[in-house]
Copies of this chain bind each other. A is one copy, B any other.
């Protein structure tokens, strides 16, 4: 990451690339050709590769703002004194909707192994802010005792990946998983049927 440092043309091109990438990924998904992004940004392909060493780097940059907001929100919730269960599940719902709404872009980031060479990647940041939220909710019995932070992230990741472009469906699956797919308890306030498939 090199947000606001270096020469003016470098900063400008970086912004243009991220903007173009957001549009193209939104239209064609996370596997869209990088050349197309460079063209739309009005720069050469070498410049794109100089700024973003891999497709993943570019995907992370495109998602950065959304992830930042989610992390800030998690921090606020964890520091507040609201309903711990509502805080946790509300935040997970925001996360799963965000991930689903980006045509799989966030799903790619969450699903691909971060690897030791990416110490500050988004997966790890989300993992860090989710910890306190889960811990608070666990105290009030709103989380299965066996469900770790990694379990929660894995479920959210899986749900995001099968509901690309359908945030309502993602939200619904999350509520089902929360209530228990094998449960016979009808809890309509938790799992109301929604529009998406």
Tell me the A residues contacting B by CB distance below 8 Å.
85, 89, 111, 141-147, 150-152, 154-155, 157-163, 169, 172-173, 176-186, 190-191, 193, 197
Count identical subunits in the complex: 2
**B111 & A183 in contact (Cβ 8 Å cutoff):** no
Set B141, B181, B183: member contacting A184, Cβ < 8 A: B141
In the bound assembly, the distance between CA atoms of A173 and B181 in angstroms comes to 12
Q: Which residues of B contact A144 (CB under 8 A)?
A: 176, 179-186, 191
6 contacts between A and B (CB under 8 A): A144-B185, A154-B162, A155-B158, A155-B162, A179-B180, A180-B182
Q: Are B183 and A177 in contact (CB under 8 A)?
A: no
Bound form: Cα–Cα A162–B114 in Å? 13
B197 touches A176 (CB 8 A): no
For A169, A177, A184, A185, the residue with the greatest tally of chain B CB atoms inside 10 Å of its CB is A177
Chain B residues closer than 8 Å to A146, beta-carbon distance:
176, 186, 191, 193
B residues less than 8 Å from A163 (CB atoms):
154
Contact of A162 among B147, B158, B173, B193 (CB under 8 A): B158
Task: Tell me which residues across on chain B come within 8 A of A180, comparing CB atoms.
Answer: 144, 177-183
State how many angstroms separate the Cβ of A110 from the closest Cβ of chain B: 8
Q: Which residues of B contact A155 (CB under 8 A)?
A: 158-159, 162, 173, 176-177, 181
| Cβ–Cβ < 8 Å partners of A143 in chain B | 181-182, 184
**Cα distance, A159 to B190, chains bound together (Å):** 21
